[in-house]
Structure 1
């Protein structure tokens, strides 16, 4: 098939008709169109993580001087400059890209500081003539050092100016902020991540080029969405990190609260990524009308600037809020799927990349940027040194220089004679001729000599850097650490191994299915800091199953409560936080897997990276809470009343001190300290009088110089014969991987009770090279060991003498706790030989 092309000229009589093949023309035109969409619009570059329009916006705003320390300008002005100089497309596309770069609910680290109405998930932004914009501080790190030849520049669309082919990108924008775009025959959809975690993973790969995906995921466990919420099920994330494609389920953050004197409600404070509150409210109303949802009396949006997102869903009397919440997850956008498709441009072509490939492309880019920047700086410093040395030559014999210049016919002749007499280059002679007389002072000479010495030192450093790949990679790593310190923020999204909600169904639910009782439950805290809830109805059978070791399965603390109850989380900084039990993830049916739990630090909302949860305690009992600190202080606190507060300070700590363990402690219970110099002290709880929250406690264990407490435990009197003492010693001077240390397990009854404020007795004989214990644990049952990443670690069997030396370990043990599957009744559970009123026995295990 063919057609004709008619090209009209100014004269109607002059025409040129050309026969072409339609299929050939369509193929050629479509390929050009597809190429333009793929390479110039839809897909980001894997190096700086930006699409062309985003890169051009940031570059043009940097050229306009729109820095964070200057005022905002109209967005329309930015759009006009970008469109006129760099991006010959519609102003709508440019403004839409600028808006998304300023929206904190879209990007994890926004790069545009917007002023005005930049829209929401439910409403669009105002017109560009009404909004204002400037670069955010994080954007300066993306565009910095462009004037130092760190990247190639290419012509713009009409060859009137140039633009950077790629930005230097001091942080991994593609992984941090994600990307989405639809090209021709392909698309990309990448999830945002936490900047600090991504840089930590990149640093590990930089220092260990052969690192495995499992190692990298210790630093980058999963996406960190700007909206927070929760991710349930990590298998899809692992698939995406391995091959570039996968999916995960996101859940809103919701809690059950008392909204009126007689009604409970579900309060939603975080929604899945890119889900707006109006969409959720609409789906809830549709579900109620279609009778897919039951037990809901009202829904209100109480969101404001002060409190943030707050959707209140009132529950009818007689309905279990947790069961209603599960139905909301099933039938509304409170639970959503995110499909990952990591497609980006690498060396000019689209590729599907896994996590390690994405990090390697970025690191290779940064290494090249630092290399080119160093070469540029070296060349400039060599040029400056050349001029300074010539100037020093002239100053040393300035009289002759002046005589040569005065006796010359013109500047050209003077320059020629200077080059001959003083053996100077043309550049040096020209510089001397332009020398001002005020530079001829003695002080100027001293300055020049100091500058020369400084330049020589800097040149030597740059030459060493360019000549040593290891130093170059170290410099890249140091700059990444600085960037992380400046811009990293705490994680917002909780990651859980839960299986999530079954696929959504259209069938109406039975009302009776939502009317569930507030059943008893148990909450476990692992030694690696994970929280898990298990139903007491089947907990006894599941907890007493034969031990089957899995990651994170050593228990540090345990509390029996109810599903809709609350418990207290004690932190190492002496704070007690109120935690709703219903919001905790539950263990998969038929097993107890602490790896399915959530990180306690993230769950309770700790913003200080140095603050950690060390114990769980009931908050509805009159029994005092005993606390032991790193410096040997002990306290039993009473009179805890939260009122309307979420957190309380229950112990005043000295500088450098922190809580290492806590538990309920009656007068008849035993308090046990273990210090890192292998001493154990055990004394009666009645020796510690109860105090108020503001008290600082009293002397608990007398420590030798330099020693600190590793473990503090409360053991019920009836459990003394069942309690074990486990300790690990390690050779601090041994090379990594050559010595895993020694461990010992003994019966607590072997250790005599002493008085409070004494030094105790030896708990383990240290071998040559072992100066300190690195971990310790005291409690009833069999101790289990874990590595820092939760991996299983074997411990020797019990029965060792009180002051015996340890047994060599095959692998390093970082934490010790009570093992799941131990036949000994859990502390707090009524059993033969156990005190019915005894509560949680907590033992803290800390690394040295």
Structure 2
């Protein structure tokens, strides 16, 4: 007989339906969700500076034994362990948190040592199955002593495992590494700081609990960003340190450098925090395309792992690099802002904290950690001392102990008899029963007595530490100093107490471009004796509209040649290879006329792109008059009219040199001037420039000075016939001297002492050689006073002029590399 199945109405339980107000339910559910996000995901704890997922990652990696001295493991394994045991919110957020802990551009002190592609500012990381990780050394300082009851442990999400409520944190991680997070109705955004500075401030606050924010800022003047850069303006930082909220602006670190012959560029080596080079390049391209930015020739990213960030921005000829840089700061993320919002959990509640409050919360936590650790160690040492004292009792009468144990029926009886006979505790008796007999020797007794004495000393020290608040704080300070010494690094970010770049009013594109271009103003171009060029401003208010009165006694270098020009005009550089290179001084380093320092200019050979072994001998104006005179080492002289130089060519041969010959000097030479040769055998020849007729560019010149066999011309120049303060400087040496050895002697004499002679003659003696001297190493003729410099541009003293033209020289104090005249 088949049973009749129950009807659905009979099997169904009574329904229970409740009416709930939707607004009340939504409010309650949303508040629970908001609390969960705030407390369990988005905001860091002010004590260890970690969000729950970060804390769980570090704890689990420490539990897995992934120390810095061991090998890396797959990141996927770490993610799986953390997700399965502690953080059931998916693998993606866990891996994202792990990656950030390993990024040196995100954290000031990275806590995870990553191996593989952990991403960049412009690209994301590889998948966790391709990367490997282990704890960094600094992470050990956050997780150390967890096994000594320093913090409370709480159950994981399903109650199967335990996890720390907070890490011990041997340094103020929240301030050092900063953090960012978005919760419900609130957010946090904290800047990284320098570990050494933060520890110094924490120790000061520990020793001076009433210290003010101003006092703490003497130790922590501002954030120290992982990417370096420059922080402009400190007012917002002061607000953040006082109230927990503020903002500051960061700039990239940019330098103006030559990029090649007659090319200048901006080289970016450090960027604002969390700004990548690709973002910069994209913004520059957009600004150039929209005509908001002019003067940019190209942008090249030369960043690599060996040399770090290097973003090269080429500047068009005629544009002021500093003016273009100002526009870049205004229009691109080369200048960026950072808003500080110091929101963190304190006692489970979100609070906005200033610098003093952040340090105070951390120090209270650290004092608690050291106190709990000391109590734990004290109890452990007391327990061990109790056992050691029991062992010593047993060793003193070992035969009776063995007899008691042998005559006992079982372990319970043996324990009871030991306690009764030797007055031992339960723990001592149990420990003696479990002890191996080989420990009960005479040598073990010595060891135990030494251990007992050491334990008593440690117990006394721990009791003294726990009984004194001063000693406790001193211990915290010592551990903070040790952490700073072990993991601290020098400051990377430069702090400037200035304002940000002011936004300019909108203009037409042509006006904006003109504003970036360097004005075509009068200037003077200098060639130094050590081969550097720069341009100096000319003031129209100066007498005769000339250059601003410069510093007469420049500390470095001397002038070989100078020419008046305009900033965007053309200047000619005559080289030792017989070429004239036409260039515009617009891209030369510019200085005010009253601060000319030739040693700070651009190297002429690099600026003009000269070949190896070729150098500039003189600068000449290309105004059409007067002719340019050239002299060569083989004694050839030539004058070429500037009208022979084509205007549409930048590289012109101005003399046909014989094989092995080179130009030793060049200068403007009107008919009324005198040309001067000085030879290596100390002969000086002066003759009228009018005796040398101007020739075309292809001509090879004519005989200038008659040379003895094996000799050459070491100087050629031109002087005004009416000049009365012209001096002759000769430096004698030896042909057998090693390169770089000091010259023997130097002589300064008046040019008027040398009689003029005809062209192509041998000249007259300019210096009498002393014993060991057989040649002139250097010679120079020009307006006095002369200046001698070493190879580094440092000034060398010269003797006073002598009346006798063929006298011997005076010993030199140091090696002379070149001779010229001071800046006038």
- The TM tier, using the shorter chain, reads 0.5 to 0.7
What's the counterpart of residue 209 of structure 1?
209
What's the counterpart of residue 515 of structure 1?
517
What's the counterpart of residue 24 of structure 1?
24
- Spell out the pairing of 1:83-98 with structure 2 (5 A cutoff): 83-98=83-98
What's the counterpart of residue 138 of structure 1?
138
Q: Deviations over 1:675-716 (max 9, x none)?
A: xxxxxxxxxxx99944799xxxxxxxxxxxxxxxxxxxxxxx
Q: Deviations over 1:20-44 (max 9, x none)?
A: 1111101100100110011011100
What's the counterpart of residue 470 of structure 1?
470
**CA distance 1:151–1:35, change in 2 (3 Å):** same
What's the counterpart of residue 498 of structure 2?
498
What's the counterpart of residue 173 of structure 2?
173
**CA distance 1:230–1:687, change in 2 (3 Å):** farther
What's the counterpart of residue 395 of structure 1?
395
Asked if 2 retains the 8 angstrom alpha-carbon contact of 1:268 and 1:312, the reply is yes
Does the residue aligned with 1:259 lie in a helix, a strand or coil? strand
Distance 1:191 1:248 in 2: 10
What's the counterpart of residue 334 of structure 2?
334
Whether 1:197 aligns to 2:197 is: yes
The match for 1:639 among 790, 793, 812 is: 790
**1:666 shift after superposition:** 6.1
- Spell out the pairing of 1:581-620 with structure 2 (5 A cutoff): none
Asked if 2 retains the 8 angstrom alpha-carbon contact of 1:331 and 1:504, the reply is no
- Spell out the pairing of 1:478-493 with structure 2 (5 A cutoff): 478-493=478-493
Asked if 2 retains the 8 angstrom alpha-carbon contact of 1:367 and 1:472, the reply is yes
**CA distance 1:688–1:151, change in 2 (3 Å):** farther
**1:85 shift after superposition:** 0.6
Asked if 2 retains the 8 angstrom alpha-carbon contact of 1:248 and 1:339, the reply is yes
What's the counterpart of residue 252 of structure 1?
252
Distance 1:10 1:253 in 2: 81
Does the residue aligned with 2:17 lie in a helix, a strand or coil? strand
Does the residue aligned with 2:221 lie in a helix, a strand or coil? coil
Distance 1:389 1:34 in 2: 57
**CA distance 1:565–1:114, change in 2 (3 Å):** farther
Asked if 2 retains the 8 angstrom alpha-carbon contact of 1:519 and 1:563, the reply is no
Asked if 1 retains the 8 angstrom alpha-carbon contact of 2:556 and 2:795, the reply is no
Does the residue aligned with 1:17 lie in a helix, a strand or coil? coil
Distance 1:240 1:40 in 2: 25
Asked if 1 retains the 8 angstrom alpha-carbon contact of 2:557 and 2:789, the reply is no
**1:302 shift after superposition:** 1.0
What's the counterpart of residue 312 of structure 1?
312
Does the residue aligned with 2:139 lie in a helix, a strand or coil? helix
Does the residue aligned with 1:351 lie in a helix, a strand or coil? strand
Does the residue aligned with 1:246 lie in a helix, a strand or coil? strand
**1:432 shift after superposition:** 0.9
Distance 1:146 1:9 in 2: 60
Does the residue aligned with 1:376 lie in a helix, a strand or coil? helix
**1:638 shift after superposition:** 6.8
TM-score, length of structure 1 as denominator length: 0.62
**1:640 shift after superposition:** 5.0
Asked if 2 retains the 8 angstrom alpha-carbon contact of 1:66 and 1:72, the reply is yes
Whether 1:148 aligns to 2:299 is: no
- Spell out the pairing of 1:562-711 with structure 2 (5 A cutoff): 564=589, 639=790, 641=792, 689-690=813-814
- Spell out the pairing of 1:444-455 with structure 2 (5 A cutoff): 444-455=444-455
What's the counterpart of residue 347 of structure 1?
347
**CA distance 1:96–1:419, change in 2 (3 Å):** same
Asked if 2 retains the 8 angstrom alpha-carbon contact of 1:566 and 1:578, the reply is no
**1:404 shift after superposition:** 1.1
**CA distance 1:388–1:277, change in 2 (3 Å):** same
**CA distance 1:485–1:665, change in 2 (3 Å):** farther
Q: Deviations over 1:210-234 (max 9, x none)?
A: 1121221111110010111100101
Distance 1:357 1:420 in 2: 58
Q: Deviations over 1:477-517 (max 9, x none)?
A: 11111111110011111000111211477655612211247
Distance 1:474 1:519 in 2: 67
Asked if 2 retains the 8 angstrom alpha-carbon contact of 1:315 and 1:321, the reply is yes
What's the counterpart of residue 407 of structure 2?
407
Asked if 1 retains the 8 angstrom alpha-carbon contact of 2:53 and 2:94, the reply is yes
TM-score, length of structure 2 as denominator length: 0.64
Does the residue aligned with 1:266 lie in a helix, a strand or coil? strand
**1:17 shift after superposition:** 2.1
Q: Deviations over 1:574-619 (max 9, x none)?
A: xxx9999xxxxxxxxxxxxxxxxxxxxxxxxxxxxxxxxxxxxxxx
Does the residue aligned with 2:457 lie in a helix, a strand or coil? helix
Asked if 2 retains the 8 angstrom alpha-carbon contact of 1:330 and 1:501, the reply is yes
What's the counterpart of residue 70 of structure 2?
70
Distance 1:82 1:692 in 2: 71
**1:519 shift after superposition:** 12
Q: Deviations over 1:86-136 (max 9, x none)?
A: 111021111111111111111111101111111111111111111111111
**1:415 shift after superposition:** 1.2
**1:400 shift after superposition:** 1.1
Does the residue aligned with 2:189 lie in a helix, a strand or coil? strand
**1:442 shift after superposition:** 1.2
Does the residue aligned with 2:158 lie in a helix, a strand or coil? coil
Distance 1:491 1:692 in 2: 41
Asked if 1 retains the 8 angstrom alpha-carbon contact of 2:109 and 2:138, the reply is yes
Asked if 1 retains the 8 angstrom alpha-carbon contact of 2:182 and 2:188, the reply is yes
Distance 2:160 2:798 in 1: 85
Asked if 2 retains the 8 angstrom alpha-carbon contact of 1:277 and 1:311, the reply is yes
Residue segments in structure 1 that go unaligned for 5+ positions in a row? 1-7, 521-534, 538-556, 568-576, 581-636, 643-662, 669-685, 694-835, 840-848
Distance 1:666 1:238 in 2: 53
**CA distance 1:159–1:200, change in 2 (3 Å):** same
Asked if 2 retains the 8 angstrom alpha-carbon contact of 1:638 and 1:690, the reply is no
Q: Deviations over 1:456-484 (max 9, x none)?
A: 00000000000000000000011111111
Over the aligned positions, Cα root-mean-square deviation in angstroms equals 3.4
Whether 1:360 aligns to 2:360 is: yes
Does the residue aligned with 1:175 lie in a helix, a strand or coil? helix
Asked if 2 retains the 8 angstrom alpha-carbon contact of 1:254 and 1:270, the reply is yes
What's the counterpart of residue 325 of structure 1?
325
Distance 2:328 2:84 in 1: 49
Asked if 1 retains the 8 angstrom alpha-carbon contact of 2:240 and 2:246, the reply is yes
What's the counterpart of residue 648 of structure 2?
none
Does the residue aligned with 2:372 lie in a helix, a strand or coil? helix
- Spell out the pairing of 1:795-806 with structure 2 (5 A cutoff): none
Asked if 1 retains the 8 angstrom alpha-carbon contact of 2:589 and 2:601, the reply is no
Distance 1:216 1:445 in 2: 54
**CA distance 1:396–1:199, change in 2 (3 Å):** same
**CA distance 1:638–1:54, change in 2 (3 Å):** farther
Q: Deviations over 1:166-190 (max 9, x none)?
A: 0000111100110101111110000
**1:13 shift after superposition:** 7.2
**CA distance 1:34–1:295, change in 2 (3 Å):** same
Distance 1:505 1:131 in 2: 50
- Spell out the pairing of 1:235-314 with structure 2 (5 A cutoff): 235-314=235-314
Distance 1:687 1:367 in 2: 72
Asked if 1 retains the 8 angstrom alpha-carbon contact of 2:324 and 2:516, the reply is yes
Asked if 2 retains the 8 angstrom alpha-carbon contact of 1:292 and 1:506, the reply is no
Distance 1:477 1:558 in 2: 49
**CA distance 1:43–1:113, change in 2 (3 Å):** same
What's the counterpart of residue 185 of structure 2?
185
Asked if 2 retains the 8 angstrom alpha-carbon contact of 1:331 and 1:505, the reply is no
